């Protein structure tokens, strides 16, 4: 069969999408099972698990301090454990997507030659990559967005009813219950795809994709508290730090009004002497009212990083396919 015959019939985009879904059918089934399990768990955390734990907390709080009384401790612990399981699982999703994208979405297809076969059947490399990024990205955005909404509902329902409920600024809770989850999932997908294109081998791409996704998460964590104007509260030395929320900076106020880091001391006497030099304390933090401002700015930052990773994917592919054409010519 001639090269002209191989390139004669174009492959339309719906056919490419169907081929992609068929090729990655095991991953699709695994994702569906995982999504359903997490959705069911989050609904339970907003329903029977929450109600049982809330009743147990009411029983505990109504106990006289001088007497022993029974309350359903297992319900409290069960809710706490399942909440942690669901929250950690949601935070791990971007890393799983990075591993899959590096190992299977691009790395394995390049390593096995499936990608080159597609390129010989009137599918341009750019279109091949666009389909492999766009189709999973659409599914990931919808699925993680729904899970984040369910998680936020479950968390909000626990406020005022569960004494041990996580605060909004707990980092795992923050990312599991907002649009940052979808943004980080997309960044993980792009990181894995880029690793697969660069390394063209399954296992190395899996490892590098996860590491890049971890780097994106780490940089986001560092930048997040500073992405929205913070609030600063002053207090006396004896009052301690006032204000509750996501910490940005804390320290001491000198007589001149300067803000300096808190002193280090190893004994009560040394601490008393050290703190005598200051006139007060300052606490710079993000209050609860800044939750969605931080969510949106962090999402925007993460999506910008994801866009850079996607751009890198196309640049790497163009360099590789250009080199391939030059060698054949």
For 226-266, how does the pLDDT look when each residue is reduced to its tens digit (9 = 90+)?
999 999 999 998 888 899 999 999 999 988 889 998 888 87
Residue 249 token pair: 């900076």
The pLDDT value given to residue 13: 62
Tally of CB atoms within 10 A around 156: 13
Of 59-73, 180-194, 230-244, 268-282, give the lowest mean pLDDT range.
Answer: 59-73
Give the whole-angstrom CA distance, residue 127 versus residue 107.
17
Average pLDDT in the chain: 88
Rounded alpha-carbon distances, angstroms, from residue 121 to 8, 106, 108, 325, 326: 8, 18, 19, 15, 19
Give pLDDT tens digits for 124-167.
888 889 988 999 999 999 999 999 999 999 999 999 999 999 99
The pLDDT value given to residue 276: 84
The pLDDT value given to residue 325: 53
The answer to whether the CB of 93 falls within 8 A of the CB of 100 is no
More confident call, 171 vs 276: 171
pLDDT, mean of residues 183-198: 95
Query: Which residues, including other chains, have CB under 8 Å from residue 164's CB and lie 6 or more apart?
Result: 76, 80
User: What is the residue extent of each domain of the chain?
Assistant: 17-227+291-328, 231-288
Q: Any bridge partners for residue 280, and if so which?
A: 253
The pLDDT value given to residue 4: 34
Of 95-99, 305-309, 320-324, give the lowest mean pLDDT range.
Answer: 320-324
- In 3D space, the residue among 149, 216, 219, 147 whose CA is nearest the CA of residue 187 turns out to be 216
Q: Is 210 exposed, middle or buried (0-12, 13-18, 19+ CB in 10 A)?
A: buried
Give the side-chain half-sphere CA count within 13 A for 166: 24
pLDDT at 12 over 60: no
Query: Which residues, including other chains, have CB under 8 Å from residue 145's CB and lie 6 or more apart?
Result: 179, 181, 182
Give the whole-angstrom CA distance, residue 208 versus residue 178.
26
Give the whole-angstrom CA distance, residue 115 versus residue 92.
29
Q: Tell me how long the chain is.
A: 329
The pLDDT value given to residue 122: 65
Give pLDDT tens digits for 28-44.
899 999 999 999 999 99
Give the whole-angstrom CA distance, residue 228 versus residue 244.
16
- Output helix, strand, coil percentages for the chain, rounded to the nearest 5: 70, 5, 25
Asked whether the whole model's pTM tops 0.85, one would answer yes
């Amino acid at each position: 069969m001639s090269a002209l015959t191989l390139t004669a019939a174009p492959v339309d985009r719906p056919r490419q999408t169907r081929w992609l879904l068929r090729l990655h059918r095991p991953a699709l089934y695994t994702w569906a099972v995982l999504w359903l399990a997490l959705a069911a768990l989050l609904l339970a955390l907003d329903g029977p698990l929450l109600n049982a734990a809330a009743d147990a907390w009411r029983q505990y709080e109504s106990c006289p301090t001088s007497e022993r009384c029974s309350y359903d401790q297992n319900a409290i612990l069960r809710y706490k454990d399942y909440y942690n399981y669901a929250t950690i699982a949601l935070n791990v999703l971007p890393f799983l997507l990075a591993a899959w994208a590096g190992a299977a979405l691009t790395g394995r297809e390049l390593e096995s030659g499936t990608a080159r076969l597609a390129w010989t059947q009137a599918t341009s490399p750019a279109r091949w990559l666009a389909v492999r990024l766009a189709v999973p990205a659409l599914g990931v955005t919808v699925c993680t967005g729904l899970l984040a909404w369910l998680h936020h509902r479950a968390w909000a329902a626990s406020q005022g009813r569960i004494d041990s409920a996580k605060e909004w600024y707990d980092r795992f809770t923050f990312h599991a219950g907002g649009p940052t989850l979808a943004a980080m999932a997309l960044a993980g997908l792009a990181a894995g795809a880029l690793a697969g294109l660069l390394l063209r081998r399954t296992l190395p791409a899996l490892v590098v994709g996860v590491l890049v996704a971890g780097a994106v998460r780490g940089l986001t964590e560092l930048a997040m508290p500073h992405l929205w104007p913070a609030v600063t509260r002053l207090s006396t030395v004896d009052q301690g730090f006032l204000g509750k929320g996501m910490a940005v900076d804390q320290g001491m106020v000198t007589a001149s009004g300067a803000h300096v880091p808190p002193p280090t001391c190893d004994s009560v006497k040394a601490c008393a002497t050290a703190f005598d030099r200051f006139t007060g304390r300052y606490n710079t933090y993000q209050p609860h009212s800044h939750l969605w401002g931080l969510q949106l700015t962090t999402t925007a930052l993460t999506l910008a990083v994801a866009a850079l990773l996607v751009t890198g994917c196309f640049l790497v592919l163009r360099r590789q396919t250009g080199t391939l054409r030059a060698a054949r010519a």
